[in-house]
Amino acid sequence: MRRMSVVVPGVLFGLALPAFAADPLPSWNDTAAKKTIVAFVEQVTREGTVGFVPVAERIATFDNDGTLWAEQPMYFQLLFALERVKTIAPQHPEWKDKEPFTSLLKGDVQGALAGGEPAIGQIVMSTHAGMTTAEFDQIVKNWVAGARHPVTKRLYTEMVYQPMLELLAYLRANGFKTFIVSGGGIEFMRPWTEKVYGIPPEQVVGSSVKTKFELRAEGPVLLRLPEVGFIDDKAGKPVGIQQHIGRRPIAAFGNSDGDLQMLEWTAAGAGPRLCLFVHHTDAEREFAYDRQSSVGRLDKGLDEAQAKGWTVVDMKNDWKVIYPFEKR
Amino acid sequence: MRRMSVVVPGVLFGLALPAFAADPLPSWNDTAAKKTIVAFVEQVTREGTVGFVPVAERIATFDNDGTLWAEQPMYFQLLFALERVKTIAPQHPEWKDKEPFTSLLKGDVQGALAGGEPAIGQIVMSTHAGMTTAEFDQIVKNWVAGARHPVTKRLYTEMVYQPMLELLAYLRANGFKTFIVSGGGIEFMRPWTEKVYGIPPEQVVGSSVKTKFELRAEGPVLLRLPEVGFIDDKAGKPVGIQQHIGRRPIAAFGNSDGDLQMLEWTAAGAGPRLCLFVHHTDAEREFAYDRQSSVGRLDKGLDEAQAKGWTVVDMKNDWKVIYPFEKR
């Protein structure tokens, strides 16, 4: 008996139709964005036609922050780091007189972050390195299970976009392999992406610190070093895609200029392509920001999307609900 | 309709037995090695028992050189590089007076390689960098389609081990995801591993050069730089596994001291584990080498395998055939 590989139900039953014959995207309004997505999936799954793409090549890549979950008032991973500084401060008496920690421990986040990238780098490295990969995994799992968003008071994993969850499931039902390609930390995402998005650890691409194999008395460990390994952002995204996936995606989803090169790389392949930006236009249900935002800026990307005819999702008008909890 | 995931046929039909009820490993003699493999697969697939491992966690990693295909008289990738030097020499008039190229172009391979690692580094970088990823992919595809082994005169992709092909298929039929974790170049393997081993590009981990995203007039490219990105060997293997897969394997297969840390990392996890070395003991049908070999040395690994009770395959006595072409 041979291995059964991932199958498209439509193909399984000898049909040329994509899966989810009912409404695959119930939280999407019937606007152009949804029509473009459905038309693309129908095109690449219709065997015997020029647009058909074999299952093995149906690679879809998704940014995470601002594309699959929210990213305001700041990246959730930074909120994790800020909280973590407080948690481990007792082990760091020297932080009493060392910026950005002094400000942070006084509750002055603005003051701490005023130090810009070097300050953020210190906060991230002091909270993301110096432990084993197994220890960090557990730290993230504990945080994600209980930490709450400062504005909505929801768990962070509740602040994922219901329409994007449907899109992930729809693509997978049609033979796509879905990947995350995020500027966020690869080991910050892996502990929860399978449960929340259905994306297993081996399909998560992200930024990373260097790690080092060590044989300790209790056994081998991988130690997380306070040294940047890879930055999976902007021009780094196609690099990360090639390194981890080794094939060019046929569909890519982002929300900011940090995703622009991923979409360019995706668009440059032969055959049908779907390049999509989520545009944060809904100040009431979520947040509204684009060209001027320091978090998730969408400026050049918006221009290029318009010039090249990529899909831009208007969250306010294209999505019936934002978060899964709105449905309940 | 929901996504159908990879299913174990045994599970599909409500049985607790592993797939391949007949003989899953026909090219293996009925010795201890085969029995250990089958017992392990039966253990991890038997639902409701303490040794059961969910499908998502059935990760198996395979070294390539000397584990899935041969590696004598030298690594095939080095033979590729040596051949490539000759091919592109006309574009490099300066090589006439530059070692190790001068020796190589005179046909003096020994003399060229006498320069040790720096010489090999120059040969590798001059043939593996300076082009786009798409160009390198095509170069490898062309080579692998026609180049022949200096001793057997076979295509390199014919010099894969039939018993290991059966093992790959057997594991996959039982819900395993099979990965290559090799010291060889990730982009040297990806162009042919899917066809030869059934392992898709996104499941190949290897050494790499750095790459750079560039927007050219004809579109975006990834340029291969003459700079080491990652060395996926020895203590680098657990690092590569964590970076690419993000979970610890439950089974690992190697043949040299370069695989030792991968096996240590695998063995250190909780639950059933299978750690296996292929021992090259068959001078007649393949090659015989271990503790003293400069290629694929198996010395510390052999000691540790004995001390820890890992499986050591004796190619001469455990395998009925070595290469697929012997069966014809």
Question: Virtual CA dihedral for B196, B176, B300, B236, nearest 10 degrees?
Answer: 80
Residue count (chain A): 328
Which two structure tokens, joined as six digits, stand for A302? Answer: 């918006």
Question: Virtual CA dihedral for B172, B176, B177, B180, nearest 10 degrees?
Answer: -80
The answer to whether B97 faces chain A, any CB pair under 8 Å, is no
Contact B213 A194 (CB under 8 A): no
Contact B212 A190 (CB under 8 A): no
Contact B173 A9 (CB under 8 A): no
CA nearest A219 in B: which residue?
A: B268
Contact A239 B222 (CB under 8 A): yes
- CB crowding A116-133: b at 16 or more within 10 Å, else e: eeebbebbbbbbbbebbb
Chain B, window 52-91: residues with a beta carbon less than 8 angstroms from a chain A beta carbon: 56, 59
Chain A, window 107-166: residues with a beta carbon less than 8 angstroms from a chain B beta carbon: 133
Residue from A310, A47, A68, A289 nearest A197 by CA: A68
Q: A168-218 pLDDT, tens per residue?
A: 999 999 999 999 999 999 999 999 999 999 999 999 999 999 999 999 999
- Which amino acid is it at B255? N
Residue from B19, B51, B79 nearest B250 by CA: B51
pLDDT at B7 over 50: no
- Which amino acid is it at A111? G
Contact B9 A12 (CB under 8 A): no
Question: Which residues are bridge partners to B28 per DSSP?
Answer: B319
CA nearest A203 in B: which residue?
A: B245
Pairing state between β A204-216 and A219-230: antiparallel
Residue count (chain B): 328
Contact A211 B242 (CB under 8 A): yes
Cis? peptide before B100, omega within 30° of 0 = yes
Measured CA to CA, the distance from residue A116 to residue B123 in angstroms comes to 43
Q: B145-162 pLDDT, tens per residue?
A: 999 999 999 999 999 999
Pairing state between β B274-281 and B251-254: parallel
| CA contacts within 13 A on the Cβ side of B82 | 21
Determine the pLDDT at residue A22: 85
Contact B261 A6 (CB under 8 A): no
Angstroms from A34 CA to nearest CA on chain B: 19
pLDDT at A277 over 60: yes
Contact A202 B244 (CB under 8 A): yes
Q: A122-181 pLDDT, tens per residue?
A: 999 999 999 999 999 999 999 999 999 999 999 999 999 999 999 999 999 999 999 999
Question: Which residues are bridge partners to A62 per DSSP?
Answer: A180, A253
- Which amino acid is it at A82? L
Distances (CA, A) of B178 to A51, B188, B226: 30, 18, 30
Residue from B290, B295, B293 nearest B277 by CA: B290
Determine the pLDDT at residue B4: 41
CA nearest B190 in A: which residue?
A: A246
Instruction: Look at A198 and B16; give whichever has higher pLDDT.
Output: A198
Contact B164, B280 (CB under 8 A): no
Measured CA to CA, the distance from residue A297 to residue A71 in angstroms comes to 11
Angstroms from A287 CA to nearest CA on chain B: 31
Identify all chain A residues contacting B169, using CB atoms and an 8 Å cutoff. Answer: 2-3
Angstroms from A152 CA to nearest CA on chain B: 31
Angstroms from A255 CA to nearest CA on chain B: 20
Distances (CA, A) of A303 to A183, A254, B60: 21, 14, 45
The answer to whether A6 faces chain B, any CB pair under 8 Å, is yes
Contact A179, A199 (CB under 8 A): yes
Identify all chain A residues contacting B220, using CB atoms and an 8 Å cutoff. Answer: 238, 261, 264-265, 268
Measured CA to CA, the distance from residue B288 to residue B152 in angstroms comes to 15
Angstroms from A185 CA to nearest CA on chain B: 11
Q: Which residues 6+ apart lie within 8 Å of B98 measured at CB?
A: none
Does the interface ipTM go beyond 0.95?
A: no
Measured CA to CA, the distance from residue A260 to residue A269 in angstroms comes to 15
Angle at A259 between CA A257 and CA A265, to 5 degrees: 120
Contact A211 B243 (CB under 8 A): yes
Question: Which residues are bridge partners to B324 per DSSP?
Answer: none
* Mean pLDDT confidence for A249-255: 98
Query: pTM of the entire structure?
Result: 0.93
Which parts of chain B are beta strand (E)? 59-62, 177-185, 204-216, 219-230, 251-254, 274-281, 288-289, 311-314
Band (A323; pLDDT cuts 50, 70, 90): very high
Measured CA to CA, the distance from residue A224 to residue A290 in angstroms comes to 34
Contact A169 B3 (CB under 8 A): yes
Contact A169 B9 (CB under 8 A): no
The answer to whether A235 faces chain B, any CB pair under 8 Å, is yes
Question: Which residues are bridge partners to A222 per DSSP?
Answer: A213
Contact A288, A328 (CB under 8 A): no
pLDDT at B19 over 80: no
Q: B268-300 pLDDT, tens per residue?
A: 999 999 999 999 999 999 999 999 999 999 999
- Provide the 8-state DSSP code for A66: T
Contact B313, B290 (CB under 8 A): no
Identify all chain A residues contacting B5, using CB atoms and an 8 Å cutoff. Answer: 6
Determine the pLDDT at residue A50: 95
Residue from B16, B12, B8 nearest B55 by CA: B8
Mutate to test the interface with A, among B17, B213, B227, B228 (most CBs of A within 10 A): B213
Task: Give the distance between the most distant pair of CA atoms in chain A.
Answer: 69
Residue from B181, B60, B202, B61 nearest A61 by CA: B202
Identify all chain B residues contacting A244, using CB atoms and an 8 Å cutoff. Answer: 202, 244
CA nearest B209 in A: which residue?
A: A243
Contact B141, B232 (CB under 8 A): no
Chain A, window 168-227: residues with a beta carbon less than 8 angstroms from a chain B beta carbon: 169, 172-173, 177, 186-187, 190, 194, 198, 200-204, 208, 211-213, 215, 219-220, 222
The answer to whether B242 faces chain A, any CB pair under 8 Å, is yes
Which parts of chain A are beta strand (E)? 59-62, 177-185, 204-216, 219-230, 251-254, 274-279, 311-314
Q: A12-53 pLDDT, tens per residue?
A: 444 445 555 689 999 999 999 999 999 999 999 999 999 999
Contact A5 B6 (CB under 8 A): yes
Give me the helices (H) in B198-293, please.
236-244, 260-267
Of residues B4, B56, B268, nearest to A220 (C-beta): B268
Of residues B172, B238, B264, nearest to A3 (C-beta): B172
Identify all chain B residues contacting A7, using CB atoms and an 8 Å cutoff. Answer: 4
Q: Which residues 6+ apart lie within 8 Å of B143 measured at CB?
A: B80, B83, B84
* Mean pLDDT confidence for A314-327: 96
Determine the pLDDT at residue B215: 96
Angstroms from B111 CA to nearest CA on chain A: 34
pLDDT at B56 over 80: yes
Determine the pLDDT at residue A17: 53
Which two structure tokens, joined as six digits, stand for A220? Answer: 């081998």
Mutate to test the interface with B, among A41, A194, A202, A261 (most CBs of B within 10 A): A202
